[in-house]
Amino acid sequence: MTELNRREALTAGVWAAGAIAGLGSRAAAAPRRSGEPFRLNYAPHFGMFRAHAGDDPIEQLRFMHAEGFRGLEDNGMPGKPPELQERIGATLKELGMTMGVFVAEGNFGKTTFVRRDDEIKQHLRDKMKQTVEIAKRCGAKWCTVVPGRYDQRLDWDYQTANVIENLKLCCEILEPAGVTMVLEPLNRHDHPGLFLTGIPQSFLICEAVGSPSCKILDDLYHQQITEGNLIPNLEQSWSEIAYFQVGDNPGRKEPTTGEINYRNVFRRIHQKGFQGIVGMEHGNARGGKEGERAVIDAYRWCDGFEEG
C-alpha cells in the first residue's frame, strides 16, 4: 500500500467512524415514539401520512395526533366543501389541535397588491370576506397571503406604497374577525417575478401597515435560498413574525435531508418563547410507511434539542 493509499484509507475510516457515532448520538437523543407532544407545534399537511392513515382526512388527523403533532396546515382548505371544512374544524377542536394557515390570496401570475385601482380593491375585499367565513368553519387564526407579481413598468417605491395600502384594506376586514394574514416572501429561484422575496422587506411592510392582522410567515426553506442568515434575520424581525414554515434545502423535504441545521434553528425559536405553528410545508424524501416514519423521526430528533 502506498503512502497515498494509506492516507485515503485512514481518512475514509475516520469519516465512517464519525458517521456511525453521529447516527448513534442521533438515536440516543431522539425521544421514544410515545405520542408525547413536541416542544414546538409542528403542523403536517394532509397527505403526508397517507400510507399509515389512508385517504380520509379525519383519520389522517387522528394519526397526526397519535404521533404527537398538535397542529395542521392545509393550503387547499378553500377548495374543500364547507361541510368538510366544518368536520375538520370540529375534529381539531376535539383533539386539542390548532389549525394553521390556508392560502387566502396568492396569484403567482398577475400583478395584484402592487396595483391601486378599484378592481383589485374589490377583489381583495371579496377574498378577505371569504377568508373570514372559511376561518370560522375550520377554526383558523392565520391565512397566507402572497402579494403577487411586481410591475416592471412601475417604480418600486410606488409598488411598495400600493402593497401597504391594499394590506391595510385587508386588515379592515380581517382584524375584527381575529384573523391574521401572514405575508410569505418566496425565493426568486422557484418563483421568479414575485414582489415579496425577503424577510427585511416583509418587516418594513408589516411595520408600515401597523396591524396585528398583518404579520410575517417566515418560510425557512425560501429564506435559506434568498438570503440565508436564518437566525439573525428572525431575531431582527421577531416582533412581526407570527408563523414559521420549514423544508430543508436543497430538495424541500423534511429536516435532516439538506443543509439547514434545523435542530439549532428550532432551539432558538423555542428559546424565544414562540407559541405559534411551525408548518411542515415540504414533501417526504421517501415514499410509503418507511418514508413517513422517517419524517416523524426527523422531527423527533430536531425537536430533541438541549436548552443552553
Q: Could you give the angle at the alpha carbon of 177 between the alpha carbons of 174 and 181, nearest 5°?
A: 35
Q: Which region among 5-19, 261-275, 291-305 has the lowest average model confidence (pLDDT)?
A: 5-19
Residue pointed to by grid coordinates 502506498: 2
DSSP secondary structure code for residue 126 in this structure: H
Instruction: Quickly state the pLDDT bin for 35 (edges 50, 70, 90).
Output: confident
Domains of the chain: 41-302 (3.20.20.150)
The pLDDT score that the predictor gives to residue 223 is 98
More confident residue, 10 or 49: 49
Do residues 247 and 281 touch, judged by C-beta distance below 8 A? yes
From CA 183, how far away is CA 215, in angstroms rounded? 6
| Cell numbers linked to 229 | 442568515
Alpha carbon distances (Å) from 201 to 62, 94, 159, 262? 39, 39, 13, 23
Using a 10 angstrom Cβ sphere, with 0-12 exposed, 13-18 middle and 19 or more buried, the burial of residue 29 is middle
SS3 170: helix
Amino acid identity, residue 218? D
Number of Cβ within a 10 Å radius of residue 64: 26
pLDDT digits over 146-197, tens only? 999 999 999 999 999 999 999 999 999 999 999 999 999 999 999 999 999 9
Which pTM was predicted?
0.89
From CA 269, how far away is CA 40, in angstroms rounded? 9
Mean pLDDT of all residues belonging to the chain: 91
Total residues found in the chain within this entry: 308
Number of Cβ within a 10 Å radius of residue 306: 7
Amino acid identity, residue 258? G
From CA 204, how far away is CA 186, in angstroms rounded? 16
| Cell numbers linked to 56 | 380520509
From CA 134, how far away is CA 102, in angstroms rounded? 9
pLDDT digits over 193-225, tens only? 999 999 999 999 999 999 999 999 999 999 999
Residue pointed to by grid coordinates 380593491: 121
From CA 57, how far away is CA 38, in angstroms rounded? 21
Percent of the chain with pLDDT over 70: 88
